[in-house]
């Protein structure tokens, strides 16, 4: 290489351009001086081809191990080839942060743990408290397979019909008109970019204010509407990035985002954040979700540090959480990531549930799951040990952890790392200080019961003496679809 304007590459005579030849040793390949742009293009093409070959090899090896065709026996210090002359050790594989296809290696390399060891990718590492939207994609908790829901068995042990995927269920609900919203979400297929008189960037009617958060899927930006003057939170996604980011062997991050949109288009509840508009212009790479803006959380600062609440405030917040989550479960929706960061508080003190990026839909009463993409410290014990679990019970456990955080300002089970945290969740007893209200202690112990079959249900939580307190029972929200069905059932 003679200067910044050129790069020397080794090429066969077939691809040799008519440029001046450089002197070369007889034993060395012939070198030609190429323009920088052409050299970089060839280099990127070569890297792309190699990466594609590696992806094919990764999927082949993962499929072989999962199906039992190949039994791998190796230690953390074993080196093996991934093609193209590249060799990797076990620690290297753990640091690659790929689509999660190496999650099985953790289980093989750490057989002494009694619970599942997910792929300890550097994408989350020890970030056990991070929000799935703002800081990671949640994809590295998949236990494998193409569907989150499993085939269940009946009371006689006979298999029930195979469960359909969430996307198929949601499509059927739309066709059947099972939508709670009286005002539909606005679908916009054109994005117009401009600036206002102050030079602020605009997307259609929305004027950019500042960024709220960012993560693996995209970012959240605060915008103000020029039509009504209200603030809105816009989730901004890069469509090519979503398509390339794989979360299961057959699904990409785009699948999760589109499922989130489909779910939110159906929901209408005072304790669930409202989706206003979807902007999807096929001519651009950006995808926008326009959400109502709720400005505050009950965490004390931007670092995510928790602050304990007065018992009366915690009771009020819990009632809102239970109301919103009961609504979701009654509509066959599993949230999958209940935690303080996904619970926003309005100026009037009402809690709204946000972030449906890992939510799932189910049919009938079969909420059996195997993919656990939630936040580690809020993960239920049955999710940590790598077995199938019921989504509603896992959501209820997360409510218990959230309540514990609200009243005590700390987490009930938090280790020094992912493995240690999962070990504490599965094996450590719940510690509740002696000064806690006995009724509150009883509720915490029943919410954080490690046996999911003995864990309290949300319906029981709603009638628990501590929850009722002096506020009365939680009012039942009659949604639009239930009102419509009630009218249809009424005699003419």
**Would residue 152 count as lying in a domain?**
no
Taken in order 11, 12, 18, 19, is the CA torsion positive or negative? positive
pLDDT digits (tens, 9 = 90+) for 203-250: 999 999 999 987 668 899 999 999 999 999 999 999 999 999 887 787
pLDDT digits (tens, 9 = 90+) for 309-340: 999 999 999 999 999 999 999 988 999 999 99
Higher pLDDT, 103 or 130: 130
Higher pLDDT, 300 or 281: 281
CATH of the domain at 469: 1.10.510.10
Output the furthest CA–CA distance in the chain (Å, rounded).
97
3-state secondary structure of 244: helix
DSSP-derived letter for residue 21 is B
**Neighbouring C-beta atoms of residue 19, cutoff 10 Å:** 12
Q: How far apart are CA 132 and CA 20, in angstroms?
A: 54
pLDDT digits (tens, 9 = 90+) for 157-188: 544 444 456 667 666 666 666 677 788 899 99
Q: How many domains does the chain have?
A: 1
**Would residue 42 count as lying in a domain?**
no
**Would residue 389 count as lying in a domain?**
yes
CB 405 within 8 A of CB 417: no
Which residues, 6 or more positions from 276, have their beta carbon under 8 angstroms from its beta carbon? 185, 186, 232, 290, 291, 292
Task: Report residue 295 CA to chain centroid gap.
Answer: 21
DSSP-derived letter for residue 152 is -
Q: What is the dihedral of CA 97, 337, 248, 159, to 10 degrees?
A: 150
**Would residue 185 count as lying in a domain?**
no
Q: How far apart are CA 370 and CA 66, in angstroms?
A: 15
* 248 strand-pairing partners: 251
**Would residue 55 count as lying in a domain?**
no
Higher pLDDT, 360 or 202: 202
Residues designated catalytic: 337
Any idea which of 35-49, 222-236, 252-266 has the lowest mean pLDDT?
A: 35-49
Query: If you average pLDDT over every residue of the chain, what do you get?
Result: 74
Global pTM?
0.67
- Structure tokens that stand for 474 in this block: 């939680």
Q: How far apart are CA 284 and CA 492, in angstroms?
A: 51
The pLDDT score that the predictor gives to residue 242 is 92
**Would residue 254 count as lying in a domain?**
no
* 149 strand-pairing partners: 369
**Would residue 203 count as lying in a domain?**
no
**Would residue 24 count as lying in a domain?**
no
DSSP string, 297-316: ESSSSTT-------HHHHHH
Which residues, 6 or more positions from 288, have their beta carbon under 8 angstroms from its beta carbon? 191, 203, 234, 235, 236, 237, 277, 278, 279, 280
Binding-site residue ranges for ATP: 235
Percent of the chain at pLDDT above 90?
Answer: 42
Which residues, 6 or more positions from 298, have their beta carbon under 8 angstroms from its beta carbon? 307, 309, 317, 340, 343, 345, 406
pLDDT digits (tens, 9 = 90+) for 391-429: 999 999 999 999 999 999 999 999 998 889 999 999 999
Give me the domain span that covers residue 474: 297-478
- Structure tokens that stand for 345 in this block: 């508080």
């Amino acid at each position: 290489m003679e200067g910044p304007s050129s790069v020397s590459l080794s090429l066969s005579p077939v691809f040799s351009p008519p440029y001046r030849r450089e002197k070369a040793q007889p034993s060395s390949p012939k070198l030609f001086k190429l323009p920088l742009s052409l050299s970089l293009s060839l280099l990127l093409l070569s890297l792309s081809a190699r990466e594609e070959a590696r992806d094919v090899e990764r999927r082949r090896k993962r499929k072989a191990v999962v199906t039992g065709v190949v039994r791998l026996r190796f230690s953390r210090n074993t080196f093996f080839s991934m093609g193209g002359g590249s060799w990797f050790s076990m620690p290297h594989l753990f640091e690659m942060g790929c689509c999660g296809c190496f999650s099985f290696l953790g289980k093989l390399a750490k057989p002494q743990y009694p619970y599942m060891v997910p792929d300890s990718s550097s994408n989350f590492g020890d970030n056990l408290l991070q929000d799935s939207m703002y800081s990671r994609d949640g994809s590295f908790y998949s236990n494998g397979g193409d569907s989150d829901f499993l085939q269940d068995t009946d009371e006689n042990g006979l298999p029930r019909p195979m469960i359909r995927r969430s996307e198929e269920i949601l499509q059927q609900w739309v066709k059947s008109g099972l939508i709670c919203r009286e005002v539909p979400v606005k679908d916009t297929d054109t994005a117009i970019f401009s600036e206002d008189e102050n030079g602020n960037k605009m997307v259609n009617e929305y004027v950019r204010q500042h960024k709220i958060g960012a993560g693996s899927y995209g970012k959240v930006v605060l915008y103000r509407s020029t039509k009504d003057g209200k603030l809105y939170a816009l989730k901004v996604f890069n469509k090519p990035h979503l398509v390339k980011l794989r979360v299961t062997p057959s699904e990409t991050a785009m699948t999760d985002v589109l499922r989130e949109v489909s779910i939110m288009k159906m929901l209408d509840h005072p304790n669930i954040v409202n989706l206003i508009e979807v902007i999807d212009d096929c001519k651009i790479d950006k995808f926008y979700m326009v959400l109502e803006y709720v400005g505050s959380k009950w965490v004390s600062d931007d670092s995510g540090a928790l602050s304990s609440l007065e018992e009366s405030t915690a009771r009020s917040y819990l009632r809102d959480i239970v109301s919103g989550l009961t609504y979701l479960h009654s509509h066959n929706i599993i949230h999958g990531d209940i935690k303080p960061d996904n619970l926003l508080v309005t100026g009037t003190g009402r809690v709204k549930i946000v972030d449906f990026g890992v939510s799932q839909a189910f049919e009938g009463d079969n909420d059996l799951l195997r993919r656990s993409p939630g936040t580690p410290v809020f993960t239920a014990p049955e999710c940590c040990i790598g077995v199938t679990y019921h989504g509603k019970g896992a959501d209820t456990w997360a409510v218990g952890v959230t309540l514990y955080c609200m009243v005590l300002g700390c987490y009930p089970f938090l280790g020094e790392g992912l493995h240690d945290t999962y070990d504490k969740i599965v094996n450590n007893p719940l510690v509740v200080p002696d000064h806690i209200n006995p009724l509150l202690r009883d509720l915490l112990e029943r919410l954080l019961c490690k046996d999911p079959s003995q864990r309290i249900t949300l319906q029981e939580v709603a009638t628990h003496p501590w929850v009722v307190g002096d506020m009365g029972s939680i009012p039942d929200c009659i949604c639009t679809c239930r009102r419509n069905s009630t009218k249809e059932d009424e005699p003419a």
